[in-house]
Structure 1
Amino acid sequence: MNDNDISEKMRSEMVKNAHYRMDESSRMISICLDQIGEKEVWARPNNISNSVGNLILHLCGNIRQYAIASLGQTQDTRDRDSEFSAREGLNKKELFAKLRDTVEEAKSVMENTPVSELIRPREVQGFSFSGIGIITHVVEHYSYHTGQIAFWTKQLKNADLGFYDGVDLNVKNSDT
């Protein structure tokens, strides 16, 4: 196997795993949205915290800015302040559709990003990242806010969200 084949295999594996993690976050957010009411989607635990609706808008803005605009080399049109200032707006179904569409577009960009763009540095939001750094940021940022959404949903409902119902999480690692 030559270096180009190895690089392409590594690119493909990284993208596949990023997609898996993003799909897991989407799955968990969907479960949370199913548990809360329309009014609760815009409820805030206090004046300095964000609602589930704000967090979903924020995720869409961040994923669009990093993955779609920067990695995909399109115009950055993000209005970050509006993500946090909203107090109402889209309903649960509309919010999840916006998130799902944003994530799918970002995954498409990742899938079509050549190795040369994964190692090229660029400026995003005042920070310098390679394409690999952008993908890493998008995945970890999505996961971070998914955890906040899950925590707030648990606070609202005082219930286990069942993210891994039917899965034995005590299975030991194996060499495969």
Structure 2
Amino acid sequence: MDDGSDRMSMLGDEFIAEARRQLDASAGTIRHCLAQLDDGQVWWRPREGMNSVGNLLLHLAGNLGQRFGSVIGGEPDDRDRLGEFTERGPIPKEDLIRRFEEAVGRADGVLAGLSADRLGETRRYGLLAGAVERPVLTIVLQTLTHLGGHTQEIVQLTRQQLGERYAYMQPAGVPPRPDPKS
């Protein structure tokens, strides 16, 4: 290989490693929020036309499974996108967590199996009439951006319900903040 090919391969490998870190970070934040919510809070919505954390978990499991498992990984696509948003539960929190964790695990497995040169391969995805061809790298980036946005939505819904009882995540290597009340 020449220097240009080596550099592109290194960049591709770094992109895949960072994608896996971002997937893990978003999943960790979602786990942190779910640990603070009970089943009723998971299905609470600020108003009828908005999503609950439960709907968002179903949606993220469906999106990760479709994009990583089907579009990139070639598995059959059995997603029910409409059902992700119309479900009103109560599916138990443990079942939602299991579905989400399975989708995250499959996504991480697909990422772990990618090579830098596969990032440039194209895949067709989207609704039949609006399907588009995109490089695998673009699909990964769009999917993780989507995951990050909904992760922050889950944080907001959790904080909205818990108020002062919300426990902030402690970044690795940072000592806990002192309690201002002590």
Same fold (TM > 0.5)? yes
For the 8 Å contact 1:55–1:145, the answer to whether it is kept is yes
- The offset of 1:122, in angstroms, is 2.2
In the aligned structure 1, how far is the partner of 2:113 from the partner of 2:7?
A: 17
In the aligned structure 1, how far is the partner of 2:34 from the partner of 2:116?
A: 36
Residue of structure 2 in register with 1:48 after alignment: 49
TM-score normalised by the chain length of structure 2: 0.84
In the aligned structure 2, how far is the partner of 1:24 from the partner of 1:16?
A: 12
Residue of structure 2 in register with 1:143 after alignment: 148
> Which runs of 5 or more structure 2 residues have no equivalent in the other structure?
176-182
Tell which deviates more after alignment, 23-32 or 153-162.
153-162
> How large is the RMSD of aligned CA atoms in angstroms?
1.8
Question: Superposed, which structure 2 residues align to 1:88-167 within 5 Å?
Answer: 88-125=89-126, 126-159=131-164, 160-164=166-170, 167=174
Tell which deviates more after alignment, 12-21 or 120-129.
120-129
For the 8 Å contact 2:13–2:116, the answer to whether it is kept is no
For the 8 Å contact 1:72–1:113, the answer to whether it is kept is no
> Which runs of 5 or more structure 1 residues have no equivalent in the other structure?
169-176
Tell which deviates more after alignment, 84-93 or 20-29.
84-93
For the 8 Å contact 2:16–2:114, the answer to whether it is kept is no
SS of the counterpart of 1:157?
helix
- 2:70 equivalent to 1:69: yes
- The offset of 1:114, in angstroms, is 3.2
Q: Read off the aligned partner of 2:151 and give its amino acid letter.
A: T
- The offset of 1:100, in angstroms, is 1.4
- The offset of 1:9, in angstroms, is 2.0
In the aligned structure 2, how far is the partner of 1:69 from the partner of 1:116?
A: 19
Which of these two proteins has the greater Rg computed from alpha carbons? 2
For the 8 Å contact 1:60–1:99, the answer to whether it is kept is yes
- The offset of 1:89, in angstroms, is 4.1
Tell which deviates more after alignment, 149-158 or 123-132.
123-132
- The offset of 1:82, in angstroms, is 0.6
Sequence identity (%): 30
For the 8 Å contact 1:119–1:132, the answer to whether it is kept is yes
In the aligned structure 2, how far is the partner of 1:132 from the partner of 1:112?
A: 14
For the 8 Å contact 1:71–1:117, the answer to whether it is kept is no
Tell which deviates more after alignment, 2-11 or 138-147.
2-11
Tell which deviates more after alignment, 97-106 or 46-55.
97-106
Residue of structure 1 in register with 2:34 after alignment: 33
